[in-house]
Structure 1
Amino acid sequence: MLAAMTHASTPDLLVLHAVRVTGIADGAAVSRRAGIDRDTVDELLPDFEAYGWVTHVEFAGTGGWTLTERGRAEDTRKLAGELAESGARATVEQAHKAFEVLNGRLVQACTDWQLRPAEGARLASNDHSDPEWDARVLGELTLIGGELRALVDDLTGALARFGGYDERFSAALGRARGGEGQWVAGVGIASCHAVWMELHEDLLSTLGLARGAEA
C-alpha cells in the first residue's frame, strides 16, 4: 500500500542521514548523497558538530564526517517521526521484505565475482580468465538491478529520499560491464555492492531495526 503522496524529507534529516548511510564522507560527498546544495551542507554540518551529532575524522590522509552515537540516536528519532508523519511504514516494510529476498542473490553474485572455485581450491580467487563465468555473474547483477528498480519505484512513491539507488547501481554495473571490474564489489567507490549496502542501512534505520535482526 503506497502513501497517498510522496513525502519530501527536510534538509537537516537528509544531511544527517547521508552521513549515516555513507559511514564517512566529506562535504562534497554528503551534498551529492543528500541531494542538497553544498552551501546548505556546509552550514548544517558545523551545527551538527556543535550538537554532538557528527564529528570530523582524519585517517590515512583522507578525512570526512561521521556520525556519533548521539547523532545516530537523533537520526533514528527523525526517521521515526518522518515515517509516522508520511504514513509510509507499510511501503517500507514491504520493500524491506523484497530486499531480503534479493539480498542473498546479490551477496552470492559478489562472491562469485571475487571467487571461482577450482578443483582442490574451493576459495580460489577469480582471476577473470573465464568470460562465461563473469558473464553469468554480470547477467545476474543485471536481473537484480531490474528488480531493484521496481523496489525503488515503490519506495519513492512514499519517501522521495529513497530515489537514486537503482540509478547508482546501474551506473556501477555499466562500468563493470565496460571492463572496470572493481565496480562490482570494490571498496571506496560507489560499486554495486557499496550502493546495495547503503540501501540496506537505509531500510534498516528507517524501520528502526538493528543490522542482523532480519533473520
Structure 2
Amino acid sequence: MPAAASDVDDLVLHGPRVLGFASTGRIAAHYGLDPDDVEDHLLGHGARGWVGTASFDGTSGWFLTAEGRAEDERRMSAELERTGAREIAGAAYADFLPLNARFTRVCTDWQLRPTRADPLAANDHSDRRWDERVLRALGTLGRELTAATAALAGRLQRFDGYAPRYTSALARVDGGQWQYVAGPGIESCHTVWMQLHEDLLATLGIDRGSEG
C-alpha cells in the first residue's frame, strides 16, 4: 500500500510547527508545494486566527498561534486515525527517543572538547581523533534513524524525507562542510533531526516537557 499523502491545507498549517518561524517559500519547499498555493492557505489560516506573521532580524515569516497549535494537533490526530498509522507513529517515537538522547550527546561533543582546565572548552577541531569519533557516531545514528522511521515513512508520505535529508547533510560533512553538523538556518544534521522530533511530537500530541 502506498504511503498516504497529507492534505495540503493540513501540511501548510503543520509547516510552522515543524519548521518554527518560517517563510511561505520555506514551507512550500519543505513539502514540495506551490508557493502561491501555500500563501493562499496561510492567509486562510490567518483569518481563522491559527497563524500569525512577524518580522525578525530583517526576515519575515509565519508562526502558529496557541489556537493554531491545537488545531494542528487535532488534524494530525485525525490523520493518524484515518490512515491507521497511530501505532506505527507511536513505535517510531519510542525508537526515536533513545536515539535522540545519543544525538544530543554527540552534538555536544562536536561543540565542546573538555580539558582538565576547562570542562566546557569549545571544540577547536584540532583533535582529529575526537572529531572522527563524533562523525562516526553521526553516521551510525543516521543508519539507525532510517531504520526507526522506515515503517512510518512507508505509511505517511510527509515523513519519508527526513532520513534522506539527514544522509545528504552528513555527506556534506564528509566533504568537509562541517557547518552541516549543527549549523542553524541550513539543512544540517541538527536541523533535520530537530524537525523530525517536532513532527513526531505534534503528530502524537505529546508535550515536549513530558520527555523530561
Distance 2:123 2:129 in 1: 12
Distance 1:52 1:195 in 2: 28
| Structure-2 residue corresponding to 1:108 | 105
Decide which of 12, 18, 23 is 1:15's aligned counterpart.
12
- Aligned 8 A contact 1:15 1:36 in 2: no
Distance 2:168 2:2 in 1: 28
| Structure-2 residue corresponding to 1:212 | 209
Q: Once the 2 structures are TM-superposed, how far is the Cα of residue 17 of structure 1 from its aligned partner?
A: 0.7
| Structure-1 residue corresponding to 2:123 | 126
| Structure-2 residue corresponding to 1:54 | 51
- Aligned 8 A contact 1:79 1:205 in 2: yes
- Aligned 8 A contact 1:204 1:210 in 2: yes
Q: Once the 2 structures are TM-superposed, how far is the Cα of residue 124 of structure 1 from its aligned partner?
A: 0.6
Matches within 5 A, 1:90-169: 90-169=87-166
Identity %: 50
For this pair of structures, how many residues does the alignment match?
A: 212
- Aligned 8 A contact 2:17 2:202 in 1: no
Q: TM-score, normalised by structure 2?
A: 0.95
* Aligned amino acid, residue 13 of structure 1: D
Distance 2:22 2:168 in 1: 20
* Aligned amino acid, residue 99 of structure 1: F
Distance 2:180 2:40 in 1: 32
Decide which of 156, 160, 178 is 2:175's aligned counterpart.
178
Q: Deviations over 1:127-168 (max 9, x none)?
A: 001111111111110011111112232111221111110111
Distance 1:65 1:34 in 2: 15
Aligned structure 1 segments of 4 or more residues deviating by more than 3 angstroms = none
Decide which of 68, 71, 75 is 2:72's aligned counterpart.
75
* Aligned amino acid, residue 211 of structure 2: E
Q: Once the 2 structures are TM-superposed, how far is the Cα of residue 214 of structure 1 from its aligned partner?
A: 3.1
**What's the Cα RMSD here?**
1.3
Distance 1:151 1:25 in 2: 27
